[in-house]
Amino acid sequence: MNRTLYTLLFHLGLPLVALRLYLRSRKAPAYARRIGERFGLNLPALQPGGIWVHAVSVGESIAAAPMIRALLQRYPQLPITVTCMTPTGSERIQALFGDEPRIQHCYLPYDLPWAAARFLQRARPQLAVIMETELWPNHIHQCARRGIPVALANARLSARSAKGYARFAGLTRPMLAEMSLIAVQTETEAERFRQLGARPECVQVTGSIKFDLTIDAQLPVRARALREQWQALQRPVWIAASTHEGEDEVILAAHRQLLAHHSDALLILVPRHPERFDSVHALCAGQFTTVRRAAGAPVTADDQVLLGDTMGELLFLYAVADIAFVGGSLVPNGGHNLLEPAALARPVLSGPHLFNFLEIALMLREGGALCEVDDAQGLATEVRRLIELPRDALKMGEAGVAVMRANQGALKRLLDGLGTLLRL
């Protein structure tokens, strides 16, 4: 498949795109808003001539935040346009940068030549920075036509994804050849990009900028204050975060087993996607005394589950808990960011499906900061062990912080690489 055929198929598939938007809007009404932006129409006024950063959704937006702040500091004369594809990503961007006058935001239009051209005509960036692996052939080609260098930042590419791209070499090779910088997390991923067609001189191993996460000194203070408000300083609290469909039942089964030994244990359950908040609440409330974080009511001694149904609080809720399980890993989704709880010195648990974070998982596992489980029994056993052996929990937490510190510096290497592409 080449880019012409891809574009034709994309146009033919637009009715399905519209249907998908409609179906998603039934669960998340925000998908029905700002539809024009998705086609390059009704875009907000954008100050041209700056840097364009694309972060597809919430996770990428959070990962991009330190880079964006550093770019604001390095280039005080440039505006930064931050795009995403989801309402939750949009909310996170506005929460992170709503008070920064040089940050401007809209949805990235669909990958259609005319929609991409409309967006670029409005933004006219000097540099495009795409987070992780959100590769859109027409957007990249339209940038190349205009002489706009495109960088892929904090890039990752699993073996499974590489096989998928390789099946469409006629589309993938020209697209990667048009990119000016591919800043990858590991040498393994660098070689995958080279084999797919990226120019070797444009591929650099910079490491993962997620290791450069900095924790606000007030975050643990606020977390402890909340535990005091709940009168739960001595109560075991564990969190299962970024869970996907099919995982919540396993986690609740583990919590039931845990309660047989520690009847005062509290589970903080945080679904990955907001449209699942209500259904997961119903699942929890059918089995346990459950309180919703969004309701604002304090947790009492009788509550067994706190549903984390707010946006932008995940790092804070990790700080509130004693032990962290990171979801997307009991089902074959590839896992989520293991480094956030590690940075807070929390022992980290996950399922076996970590193909999106293999190198990071290996570092944490070998460093003694990560334990993987397969099912409810294994999860309950590990949480119980860490409750009953606090020295083991402390050791795992300290190991996570050590791994974080040993691998920092990726952000500076990335910024240096981006600096070579800016013509100032």
User: Among all residues, which ones are annotated catalytic?
Assistant: 60
Q: In the structure, what pLDDT confidence band is assigned to residue 1 with cuts at 50, 70 and 90? A: confident
Rounded to whole angstroms, the Cα distance separating 381 from 355 reads 24
pLDDT value at position 133?
84
**pLDDT digit string (tens) for 177-234?**
999 999 999 999 999 999 999 999 999 999 999 999 889 999 999 999 999 999 999 9
**103-120: average pLDDT:** 97
Contact between 235 and 265 (Cβ < 8 Å): yes
Q: CB 365: neighbour CB atoms within 10 A?
A: 17
Rounded to whole angstroms, the Cα distance separating 419 from 73 reads 13
pLDDT value at position 214?
87
Beta-carbon-side half-sphere exposure of residue 281 (alpha carbons within 13 Å): 16
Q: In the structure, what pLDDT confidence band is assigned to residue 312 with cuts at 50, 70 and 90? A: confident
Contact between 334 and 328 (Cβ < 8 Å): yes
Helix 248-259 vs helix 277-285: crossing angle, to nearest 10: 30
pLDDT value at position 235?
97
Q: Could you give the residue range(s) of every CATH 3.40.50.11720 domain in the chain?
A: 3-212+409-421
pLDDT value at position 424?
67
**274-303: average pLDDT:** 96
Beta bridge mates, 205:
184
pLDDT value at position 134?
85
pLDDT value at position 373?
98
Beta-carbon-side half-sphere exposure of residue 20 (alpha carbons within 13 Å): 6
Q: Ramachandran region of residue 49, left (φ > 0), alpha (ψ -120 to 50) or beta? A: left
Q: In the structure, what pLDDT confidence band is assigned to residue 244 with cuts at 50, 70 and 90? A: very high
Q: pLDDT > 70: what percent of the chain?
A: 100
Q: Reduced to 3 DSSP states, what percent helix, strand and coil does the chain have, rounded to the nearest 5?
A: 50, 15, 35
pLDDT value at position 57?
86
Q: Could you give the residue range(s) of every CATH 3.40.50.2000 domain in the chain?
A: 217-407
Contact between 364 and 341 (Cβ < 8 Å): no
Contact between 63 and 55 (Cβ < 8 Å): yes
Rounded to whole angstroms, the Cα distance separating 194 from 323 reads 39
Q: Is the pLDDT of residue 112 over 90?
A: yes
Interacting residues of 406 by C-beta distance below 8 A, sequence separation 6+: none
Rounded to whole angstroms, the Cα distance separating 210 from 302 reads 37
φ, ψ for residue 341, nearest 5 deg: -65, -30
pLDDT value at position 247?
98
Pick the range with the lowest mean pLDDT from 55-69, 73-87, 122-136, 304-318: 55-69
Q: Is the pLDDT of residue 340 over 70?
A: yes
The architecture (CATH level 2) of 3-212+409-421 comes to 3-Layer(aba) Sandwich (3.40)
Q: CB 148: neighbour CB atoms within 10 A?
A: 19
**The residue type at 366:** E
Q: What is the pTM of this model?
A: 0.84
pLDDT value at position 84?
96
**371-379: average pLDDT:** 98
pLDDT value at position 262?
98
Q: Is the pLDDT of residue 423 over 80?
A: no
- Tell me which CATH code domain 217-407 carries: 3.40.50.2000
Contact between 275 and 23 (Cβ < 8 Å): no
Strand, coil or helix: what is 404?
helix
